Amino acid sequence: MARQERASRLTKTQRAASRRTAGAGTRARGFTLIELLVTIAVAGVILTLGVPSMRQVIMNNRMTALTNDLATAVHLARTEAIRRGVSVDVCIGSTQINSTTSIATGKCNDSGANGGWNQGWLVIADPNSTSELVWSRGPTGDSPVVVTAAAKLTFSARGHLSLPADGAVFDICDSRGDAHATRFEVASTGHAKVSKVAGQAASDGQSAACPQTDA
């Protein structure tokens, strides 16, 4: 009987020792200093490669959005000119409120073309008579910048571009210069197209007229 009790106590002691040994073998450990430094170095390399690419994507998206807004205004102006049978302007913006009728009307800002378009633009139906504001686009910010010699576009009732009569060219530029600019053209017929997208040559082989920048 005594032998069985001693054997039972010995077995319990061995089990306890076994559990302590197993617990010590599976104890979790943290990062060593070397592993932490390696992780930081790898993360730094990934960020160095990824940040410039993300910046390019953001700049391209801004340029595309601004070009699309300009194309929307031009298409709308031509459509409204034909539908209403009156001339319609796309011009540098300066909005006003008609206090008599409480109808939003528009007034073109003819202060200049280059740089002025970044103040935003308006689509105005029948500018020489009732002058109804059809659509407006607010300030675009400092980049991208709209570069053009046209102070405004005027579509006739037939949808042709009467001012400027020989068509207009808009270059959408940012700090990357001519090679990354987008060119938007409006023909004398009133039809518009993107003739150059960022990173590609213009269909006529001409470079964009982007301003010089050190950025």
CA 197 from chain center: how many Å?
Answer: 14
For residue range 90-145, list pLDDT tens digits in order: 998 865 545 444 445 567 776 666 668 988 899 999 988 888 999 988 888 888 99
Asked if 96 and 107 count as a contact pair (C-beta separation under 8 A), the reply is yes
Torsion of CA 36, 37, 42, 46, to 10 degrees: 100
Asked if 140 and 146 count as a contact pair (C-beta separation under 8 A), the reply is yes
Buried b (16+ CB within 10 A) or exposed e, 145-171: bbbbebbbbbbbeebbbeebeebbbbb
Asked if 113 and 150 count as a contact pair (C-beta separation under 8 A), the reply is yes
Q: Which of 8-17, 95-104, 162-171 has the highest mean pLDDT?
A: 162-171
Distance CA 120, CA 136 (A): 7
Per the prediction, the chain carries an average pLDDT of 79
For residue range 50-103, list pLDDT tens digits in order: 556 778 888 889 999 999 999 999 999 999 999 999 999 999 886 554 544 444
pTM for the structure as a whole:
0.70
List CB contacts of 207: < 8 A, sequence separation 6 or more.
Answer: 178
Other residues' Cβ atoms within 10 Å of the Cβ of residue 88: 26
